[in-house]
Amino acid sequence: MKKELLLASALVSTMGFASVAQAVTATMSGAHMTALQGNDTDAAADAIISQDTTSDFSVSLSETTDGGVGIASSFMLANENAGLHTAGLTLTFTDGSKLDVINGGNAAKSHDVSIPGSAGSPGVTVTSTNNAQTGLDFFGEATAIGVEWHSAADFMADGLKVSASISFDDGAAADGSAELESGWGLGATYVTSAGDTSVTIGAGVADSEWKDNASTVDGSNGFHVGFSAVTGDLTVAAGYANGDKVIAAGEKAIYDNTVSAIGVKYVTGDVTLSAGFLSAEGDDGTFAAAGGSDDAKDETSLGISYAVASGVTANLGWKDITAKDEGAADLTGGTSWYVGATMSF
According to DSSP, the β-strands at 70-79 and 48-64 are: antiparallel
Q: Does the residue 288 lie in any domain?
A: yes
Q: Does the residue 7 lie in any domain?
A: no
Q: Does the residue 201 lie in any domain?
A: yes
Domains identified in the chain, total number: 1
Structural domain boundaries enclosing 152: 31-344
Domain containing 90 — which CATH number? 2.40.160.10
Q: Does the residue 3 lie in any domain?
A: no
Q: Does the residue 163 lie in any domain?
A: yes
Q: Does the residue 70 lie in any domain?
A: yes
Q: Does the residue 248 lie in any domain?
A: yes
Q: Phi/psi zone of residue 20: left (φ > 0), alpha (ψ -120 to 50 degrees), beta? A: alpha
- What SS3 state is found at 253? strand
Q: Does the residue 13 lie in any domain?
A: no
Beta bridge partners of 27: 60
pLDDT by 10s per residue, the chain, length 345 = 444 333 344 433 433 444 445 689 999 999 998 999 888 877 766 678 888 888 889 999 999 999 999 999 998 887 776 666 778 899 999 999 999 998 888 999 999 999 998 888 777 766 667 888 899 999 989 998 999 999 999 999 999 999 999 999 888 887 778 888 999 999 999 999 989 999 999 999 999 998 887 666 778 899 999 999 999 999 999 999 999 998 887 778 888 999 999 999 999 999 999 999 999 999 887 776 666 678 899 999 999 999 999 999 999 999 998 888 877 777 777 889 899 999 999
Rg (CA), the chain: 24
Phi, psi of 15 (to 5 degrees): -65, -35
- What SS3 state is found at 216? coil
